[in-house]
Amino acid sequence: MNRVRFAFLVAAACLVLARMGNAAATPSSTVHPSASLRAGMEALKHKDYPSALAHFKPLAAAGNAEAQAQLARMYEHAEGVPRDHEVAASLYKMSADQGNAMAENGLGVLYESGSGLPRDLQKARDLYVEAMAKGDAKAAYNLGRLYIDSIGVPQDCKKGMELLRKSARQGYALAQYMLGKEYDYGICVEHDPAEAVKWYGRAAAQPDTIGGTEAANNLAVMYNDGEGTSRNVNRAMALYRQAAKGGSVTAQVNLGKAYEFGQGIKRNYPEALKWYRLAAESGDDQAENNLGIMYERAMGVAKSPLQAAKYYLAAADQDNRDAQANLGLMYLPGGRLPRDDKQSFAWCTRAADQGSPNGYNCLAMIYMNGYGVSRDRACRVVVRVRCEPRQFQRDAQPGGLFHERNRRPEGSCSCLGLVPASVCQA
């Protein structure tokens, strides 16, 4: 998008707003602008988008910078209106030209992502700096991200962390969550579980925010494992529920695991299925794989190989190595589906290429029995498993629950026991 196009969009937005201003009487036409703005903000807080629009549109048409910024945000996030980044950019620009910090930050986000206008990291950075100087916590967080992730600037962990702390101390939940992650994973700062618990806790205290929801899940992991705090399984389960109900897909999967395995709570397969299904609706591959297992093994649901295969395939298509191995095993003789040597070999190979122990198990059985292949490679498959066991222990702790990098425990590398010595000696 060139400057002429952007100027045209701004002019078009002005025309639309002018028409709004000439429309029939609205709630904001009978009250003081500041009162109408407060009413619009209250409506937005309660997700009453029609009322919020009725208040913001006339005010924005009259040039109210705050209303323009709020209306831009609604177009950016599709709140009560179709998502339109170009209209959002135009409205943010009008508001930012009046010095509105929220609009400066919002316009910076669009420049950073290239949504609704050409990507320009320098402009994004400059706008974050301007907004932060006016006390905008989100801008401080966004500027910190640029330095930590080296987006348009050389990586500077010290500066990035200072900016994250600045935003977190202002109470911005997403900054608090990200600060907790930095201490939790030891990415840009030394690993400090106690500090991670502290910042996760502050973010989780704001449950209706994105940062608060994800922080609750990670804090639950730390309470479950007793990392950075005393172990408290009941507290962990409460936090998982909080995060899961708030829309955290990771927490939904973790809560499903807790019910499936009876970890910190009584085993309950129907509840496990409920949370896995909810996560699967968002396309989560772990949830899809776990649902496949439950349908294949009749865990709280009638056995259905076709349903199991459907869920395995959905996860396998997302490169979930466990699902690829499970699908491959179903096609083997004695599996849940009609034998198909090509399918079993293809899926087990894909799983093994990602380091799946079950994928290697499957390949070992294929070669050992000569299912569509020569038996002479069975030993080479076994040797590969023998040489790479640590890789399989890195992602999972048997019986444990996990952070965003979620993996279902697969058990040990048992492939060695599947291949008779006579095959290896051949």
Write out pLDDT tens, residues 228-258.
999 999 999 999 999 999 999 999 999 999 9
Identify the pLDDT of residue 31: 60
The dihedral sign for the CA sequence 78, 83, 84, 89: positive
Residue 413 located in a structural domain? yes
Which of 203-207, 226-230, 303-307, 376-380 is least confident? 376-380
Higher model confidence: residue 44 or residue 2?
44
Residue 173 located in a structural domain? no
Residue 419 located in a structural domain? yes
Where helices occur in 170-209 by DSSP H, the ranges are 173-185, 193-204
Identify the pLDDT of residue 23: 42
Residue 390 located in a structural domain? yes
Domain containing 361: what range?
348-426
Residue 143 located in a structural domain? no
Query: What distance in Å separates the CA atoms of residue 192 and residue 338, rounded to the nearest whole number?
Result: 52
Contacts of 14 (CB under 8 A, 6+ apart): 94
Residue 255 located in a structural domain? no
Query: What is the number of other CB atoms lying within 10 angstroms of the CB of residue 69?
Result: 26
Residue 196 has pLDDT above 60, yes or no: yes
Identify the pLDDT of residue 128: 98
Residue 425 has pLDDT above 70, yes or no: no
Contacts of 141 (CB under 8 A, 6+ apart): 163, 164, 167, 168, 172, 174, 175, 178
Query: What distance in Å separates the CA atoms of residue 143 and residue 112, rounded to the nearest whole number?
Result: 11
Identify the pLDDT of residue 207: 93
Percent over 90 (pLDDT), the chain: 74
What is the rounded average pLDDT for all residues in the chain? 86
- The pTM of the full predicted model, rounded to 2 decimals, is 0.80
Q: How many domains does the chain have?
A: 1
Residue 218 located in a structural domain? no
Which of 3-12, 202-211, 280-289, 357-366 is least confident? 3-12
What are the angstrom distances between the C-alpha of 318 and each of 167, 285, 311, 313, 322? 35, 7, 11, 9, 11
Largest CA distance in the chain: 92
Identify the pLDDT of residue 248: 94
Residue of 207, 263, 270 lying closest to 239 (CA atoms): 207
Residue 229 located in a structural domain? no
